[in-house]
Structure 1
Amino acid sequence: MFKHNNIKSPSEQVLFDVDGRGVATVTMNNPDKHNAFDDSIIFALSHLFHEIAKCHDIKVMILASTGKSFSAGADLGWMKRMASYSYEENLSDANALAHMLKNLNFLPQPTIAKVQGAAFGGAVGLASCCDIVLASEKASFCLSEVKLGLIPATISPYVVNAIGQKASRRYFQTAERFFADKAQQLGLVDEILPLEELSAAVEKMTTTLLANGPLAVRQAKQLALDVAYQDIDEALIAITSERIAAIRVSTEGQEGLTAFFEKRQPAWQAPLQQAAPQKTSLNKGEG
């Protein structure tokens, strides 16, 4: 039995499904509010990311949303409630958002953000936490917090990693809106497509990822996280040498090498045909 069969979304405003290839899609589903998120949506996203991370049969995760906007960031009603919170309550609230972002950033599976429209505030953090960001020509981005007398604190580690310190110093302070072409220049967006081609581009990228060894893909992602900004010293050389040696002798590594020399597809590519998504119950309160 697939482990992902037990994953349920705790909110009607966050949808979850997995197809027969092991491709999970997490969809923010609050289009009337431009997919702005509050504490309940943050909890649902965090829960799903946590559960997906434990499932070896999930090979790729797509983060998407319904409607015209990817996400407007924090919900105004939630922000109004937070304004009356004590420091301790605000700290607890911020910690929940911070841990949701951490769950997404360190998800062992490759992640694709499908950004069809506006991504403001915390939504820039969501995109920054994903490995690959595909955006439509209509996408726009804004780190808008200072307009409200706030700062983009919990998302800052991921945004700075994505666009660098220099650009962060500018956009954190100016709250300027910038568009997909600028986001690509900054490194936040990987590819820009016409809106009508965005879904096909996400599918193409998913297929590209699925063609690779699933264990190797996970380890390659972890490798990038582990070696970033490290001194190239004897310790790092030893660790990287150990990692390649270990995966060469692993079952997957042996199969990949053997398949290459035998000029055949490796076993993990055998059934790559798309299957219909497996429906999950989305009743509120399920978890």
Structure 2
Amino acid sequence: MFETITISTDMRGVATLTLNRPEKHNAMSGQMIMELTEAASQLGQDDAVRAVVLAAAGKTFCAGGDLGWMQDQMAADKKTRFVEARKLAEMLQALNTMPKPLIGALQGNAFGGGVGMATVCDVAIGVDSLKMGLTETRLGLIPATIGPYVIARMGEARARRVFMSARLFDASEAVDLGLLAKTVSADRLSDAVEDEIRPYLSCAPGAVASAKALVRALGPRIDDAVIDQTIGELVERWETQEAREGIAAFFEKRKPAWNK
């Protein structure tokens, strides 16, 4: 059914949702965005599913948005850009509000939207060798649709350390920033994820769903107005000369004009 992701569920009701574009470092294409939205809906409505693990195939957890998809937005009209930006925003919110515990297993690097994918998880665990970074400003873009989830996880003060600079940071700093709950060696990742899953299997599923909804309601506001704002910010950025230059420089394998 899916082409860019896979889903498997074990006898206990633990589902593993795997990003499956390893040849593209699991960059999020338009198709992957739609498939993740559908997967979140399916898993959220499946009473047999007790917990979900968000994983990835290959060496990279998620390199962010697919640059080909972004390039398409540069050539699209404004209405199309809004439609595509909304699909991305709705995918993130679908995962964020899925009424199942969502545990992220980051086996490799996470950049841009990949950081956003980690922040919609209830718990994210990474290998100790990984690198992370909100790299959008290198391309003349901003972490727009992922912004509410990143800031909800990190808080404004910590977000300011990395939100605008596009600098990369290691797994230890990712823990300090609040993006990861903990780091482990690569051979311990499965065990660490299992340690997070196991307690949920002794909890009432409905109570877990209600508790997750409550903690979201009590946390930073991420409602339709906030999501609409981020969509507008992303579309506005796509229309700038900086974004055109940043995307063009990437595909032409050169430094953008501002990189001195």
Same fold by TM (over 0.5)? Answer: yes
> Would you say 1:181 and 2:164 are equivalent positions?
no
Code of the aligned partner of 2:23:
D
Code of the aligned partner of 1:200:
D
Residue by residue over 1:22-46, the C-alpha shift from the partner in whole angstroms, topping out at 9 and shown as x without a partner, is 1111101111111111100000001
CA distance in 1 between partners of 2:77 and 2:168 (Å): 31
CA distance in 2 between partners of 1:33 and 1:25 (Å): 20
CA distance in 1 between partners of 2:193 and 2:164 (Å): 32
Out of 96, 108, 111, the position equivalent to 2:87 is: 96
Report matched runs for 1:143-162 at 5 Å. Answer: 143-162=134-153
Q: Which residue of 2 aligns with 1:126?
A: 117
CA distance in 2 between partners of 1:188 and 1:99 (Å): 21
Report matched runs for 1:1-287 at 5 Å. Answer: 9=1, 11-228=2-219
Worse-superposed segment, 186-195 or 81-90: 81-90
CA distance in 1 between partners of 2:218 and 2:50 (Å): 23
The count of residues paired between Structure 1 and Structure 2 equals 221
Q: How many Å apart are 1:229 and its aligned residue? A: 5.8
The two structures have a TM-score, normalised by structure 2, of 0.82
Structure 1 counterpart SS, 2:26: coil
CA distance in 2 between partners of 1:30 and 1:127 (Å): 17
CA distance in 2 between partners of 1:205 and 1:93 (Å): 34
Q: 1:216 to 1:124 in 2, by over 3 A?
A: same
Code of the aligned partner of 1:169:
R
CA distance in 2 between partners of 1:72 and 1:226 (Å): 30
CA distance in 2 between partners of 1:169 and 1:92 (Å): 29
Q: Which residue of 2 aligns with 1:244?
A: none
Q: Which residue of 2 aligns with 1:234?
A: none
Code of the aligned partner of 1:71:
C
Structure 1 stretches of 4+ moved >4 Å: none
Structure 2 counterpart SS, 1:171: coil
Residues 99 and 209 in structure 2, CA contact (< 8 A), matched pair in contact too = yes
Code of the aligned partner of 1:12:
E
Structure 1 counterpart SS, 2:104: strand
Residues 153 and 179 in structure 2, CA contact (< 8 A), matched pair in contact too = yes
Code of the aligned partner of 2:61:
F
The two structures have a TM-score, normalised by structure 1, of 0.74
Code of the aligned partner of 1:81:
D
Q: Percent identity?
A: 38
- Tell me, which stretches of 5 or more residues in structure 2 are unaligned? 222-260
Rg comparison, structure with higher value: 1
CA distance in 1 between partners of 2:23 and 2:72 (Å): 20
- Tell me, which stretches of 5 or more residues in structure 1 are unaligned? 1-8, 231-287
Root-mean-square deviation (CA), in Å? 1.4
Residues 152 and 219 in structure 2, CA contact (< 8 A), matched pair in contact too = no
